[in-house]
Amino acid sequence: MKSITEIYGLLTTPRRVAITTHQKPDPDAMGSSLGLYHFLRSFGHQVTVISPTNWASWLNWMPGTDKVIDFEASPDKAEEALKNAEWLFCLDFNIFSRTKNLAPKLYEVRCTRILIDHHQQPDADNFEYGASDTSKSSTCEMIYDFIVGSGHRDRINNTIAECLYAGVMADTGSFRFASTHAGVHRMVAELKDKGLDHAKVHENIYDNFLENRLRFLGHVLMNRMELYYEYNTALIAISKKDLLRFQIKTGDTEGLVNYPLSIQGIKLAALVIDRDEERKWSFRSKGGFDVNSFARKYFNGGGHFNAAGGRSPDSLETTVQKFLEAMKENASALK
């Protein structure tokens, strides 16, 4: 993988460009994709954003979401865009398997593949160019670096600022995680100078749910959260029945895994959701417990040191048992 700086000089020549990101895009995935979309379009590039799956409806305020192709809903349109693309940007994921059923298509494409991502251990061999930096708060910060580094900071407008701010805000837990280095605040200061209404973005993301989601949260914290104080660990397991009862949609479970970490002494929080096709794990940690390695070792996943995810083909009961065994195996690191 060559440095992304090598394509800076090519930006002013219009091309057909596709942008994709991980399945079930979150604010950083969607914000970086659309921030880059608006930036590239300002040069006259023909740009298509492809999401591997659907996304939370509370992201639909973001400028450009109405143009995003959902690969699962419109596979033909997505494949057409991939076939025609000269450049393919892959944002906010480190390995094609994070795009679920889109992955085989990404391996197949003949065009130039460019990675921009902040996860650990990227699959660099599959990209011609890229920027991969785990010290970055978010992929949105990296899109900002890309715009500024390529000498086009004057193209950042309020539309781009809204998209990029959403991702930085979400991935830094509203600027509280250790990943919030000084450069993040300098970036946000510049976005403010471009006219960003940050309170509006915050409201669009955090005050934009339906009643059922809050009722579900109450139910989960009351009835589904198990604490294993001996291991400083909390586990939330959510069944299909719970999802149906509260009419849970894509995005409604976002952020749930963070709640147990607010309990004194809890170092590891785990959430597993019984999705149709797999059991989806989320892990968060405080301090020195490495959930990236944990997710890789036990649940075919990965991510960051303090935030990672994984999956399992086992039943909910079986995968929970495996988690409890893994927790015990890691007793010394958790204590």
Instruction: Work out what residue 267 binds among ligand 5GP, Mn ion, none; the CB cut-off runs from 5 to 8 Å by kind.
Output: none
Shortest gap between Cβ of 228 and ligand 5GP (angstroms)?
19
Q: Is 311 in the site for ligand 5GP (CB under 6 A)?
A: yes
Q: Is 282 in the site for ligand 5GP (CB under 6 A)?
A: yes
Q: How many positions of this chain bind Mn ion (CB under 5 A)?
A: 4
Residue 152 backbone phi and psi in degrees, to 5: -120, 35
Site for ligand 5GP in 45-84 (CB under 6 A): none
SS3 state of residue 146? helix
Residue number of the CB atom closest to ligand 5GP: 309
Q: Is 92 in the site for Mn ion (CB under 5 A)?
A: yes
**Start-end of H helices in the chain:** 27-41, 75-84, 103-108, 139-149, 158-171, 182-193, 198-206, 211-223, 240-245, 291-299, 316-329, 331-334
Structure tokens given for 326: 């893994």
Signed CA dihedral, 189, 192, 194, 200: sign only: positive
Site for Mn ion in 281-310 (CB under 5 A): none
* Count of Cβ atoms closer than 10 Å to residue 87 Cβ: 20
Q: Is 254 in the site for Mn ion (CB under 5 A)?
A: no
Pair 20, 102: CB distance under 8 Å: yes
SS3 labels along 13-65: CCCEEEEEECCCCCHHHHHHHHHHHHHHHCCCCEEEEEECCCCCHHHCCCCCH
Task: Work out whether strand 279-285 and strand 302-303 pair parallel, antiparallel, or are unpaired.
Answer: unpaired
Nearer CB in complex with ligand 5GP: 71/196: 71
Task: For residues 327 and 323, give the distance between their C-alpha atoms in angstroms, rounded to a whole number.
Answer: 6
Shortest gap between Cβ of 138 and Mn ion (angstroms)?
5
Nearer CB in complex with ligand 5GP: 85/93: 93
Place of tokens 């040069």: 43
Site for ligand 5GP in 91-120 (CB under 6 A): 95, 98, 119
Task: Work out whether strand 16-21 and strand 87-91 pair parallel, antiparallel, or are unpaired.
Answer: parallel
Instruction: Work out what residue 117 binds among ligand 5GP, Mn ion, none; the CB cut-off runs from 5 to 8 Å by kind.
Output: none
290 DSSP 8-state letter: -
Task: For residues 49 and 30, give the distance between their C-alpha atoms in angstroms, rounded to a whole number.
Answer: 9
Pair 287, 254: CB distance under 8 Å: no
Shortest gap between Cβ of 61 and ligand 5GP (angstroms)?
20
Q: How many positions of this chain bind ligand 5GP (CB under 6 A)?
A: 14
Of the listed pieces 134-142, 160-168, 208-216, 303-311, which binds ligand 5GP according to CB under 6 A? 303-311
Instruction: Work out what residue 130 binds among Mn ion, ligand 5GP, none; the CB cut-off runs from 5 to 8 Å by kind.
Output: none
Q: Is 307 in the site for ligand 5GP (CB under 6 A)?
A: yes
Binding mask 112-151 for Mn ion (x = CB under 5 A): ---------------------------x------------
When binding is defined by CB under 6 A, the residue of 47, 303, 312, 327 that contacts ligand 5GP is 303
Structure tokens given for 185: 């605040």
Q: Which residues are at the interface with Mn ion (CB under 5 A)?
A: 28, 92, 139, 171
Q: Which residues are at the interface with ligand 5GP (CB under 6 A)?
A: 22, 95, 98, 119, 282, 301-304, 307-311
